[in-house]
Amino acid sequence: MNIPLNIDWQQILLHLFNFAILAGGLYLLLYKPVRQFMEKREAHYREMEEAAAQRKAEAEQLKADYEAKLQQAEVEIRERQEEARKAIQASTQQQLEEARQQAEEILTSARAAAERSREKAIEASKQELQDLAISVAEKLVLSSDGDTFDQFLDLAERKGGNEQS
C-alpha cells in the first residue's frame, strides 16, 4: 500500500531509532553531567548561604545576650550603688546617734559631777562656818572679859592672818 507523500514506516522507525540514540547519548554525555554540576554548585552556594545565615543568627544571639547581660549588669550596679548609699546613710545616722548619746551621757555625768562638787563645797563651807561659829562662840564664852565685839574682830583678824600665812 502506497502512503501519500512517500511516507515510509521503516524510515520513520529508523528516524526514531536514530533520535533515541541521540537523546540517550546527549543525556549521558552532556545534559546529566552539566545539570549535576549546576546542582552541586547550587548546593555549595546554598550551604554557604545557610552557614552565613547561621553565623549571623549566632552573632545576633550573642549580641542580644551581651546586651541583656550589660543591661543586667547596669541594673545590678545601680542596685548596689543604692544599697551602698543606704548603708552609708544608715551608718552615718547610727554614728551620729551614738555620738549624740555619748555627748548627752557626758553632759549628764558632768552635770551630776558638778552638782555633787557644788553640794560638797556648800556642805564643806557650811561645816566650816558652823565650826567657826562654834569656836568663836566658845571663845567668846570662855573669854568674856572685854568688849565682845572687839574680841570677835581680833579673833577674826588673827584667823585671817593665819590663813594668809
Partner 1 sequence: MKQHKKALVLWLLLLVVLLIGALIAPSPQLPEESIQETMRDAVLHETGQIDLFGLDVVNPGLISAFTVTAMLLAAAAVIRIFVIPRFRYQPGRLQMLLEELVGMFDRMAKSSSPEMNRFLGAYIFAAGAYIFVGTLFELFGLQAVTTAGRSITLPAPLSDINGAIALGCLSYLIILSGGIANNGLRGVGRTLKEFSLPISMSFRLFGALLSGLLVTELVYYYIQLSFVLPVIVGVLFTLLHALIQSYVLTMLTALFYGEVSEHTPPKEKAKKRKGKPAETPQQAS
Per CB under 8 A, 114 contacts partner 1: no
CB of 52 vs partner 1, minimal distance in Å: 16
CA distance 65 to 35: 44
CB of 15 vs partner 1, minimal distance in Å: 4
* CB of 30 or CB of 156, closer to partner 1: 30
Radius of gyration of the chain (CA): 64
Site for partner 1, residues 1 to 60, rule: CB under 8 A: 5-8, 10-16, 18-19, 21-23, 25-27, 29-35, 37-38, 41, 44-45
CA-based torsion, 115, 117, 120, 122: positive or negative: negative
* CB of 39 or CB of 65, closer to partner 1: 39
* CB of 28 or CB of 112, closer to partner 1: 28
CA distance 39 to 23: 21
CB of 38 vs partner 1, minimal distance in Å: 6
* CB of 30 or CB of 70, closer to partner 1: 30
Q: Three cell numbers at 90?
A: 544608715
CB of 19 vs partner 1, minimal distance in Å: 6
CA distance 88 to 65: 34
CA distances from residue 95 to 56, 91, 103, 105, 136 in whole angstroms, order as listed: 57, 6, 12, 15, 60
By rule CB under 8 A, what count of residues binds partner 1? Answer: 31
DSSP-assigned letters across all residues of 8-55: -HHHHHHHHHHHHHHHHHHIIIIIHHHHHHHHHHHHHHHHHHHHHHHH
CB of 45 vs partner 1, minimal distance in Å: 8
Residues that bind partner 1 (CB under 8 A): 5-8, 10-16, 18-19, 21-23, 25-27, 29-35, 37-38, 41, 44-45
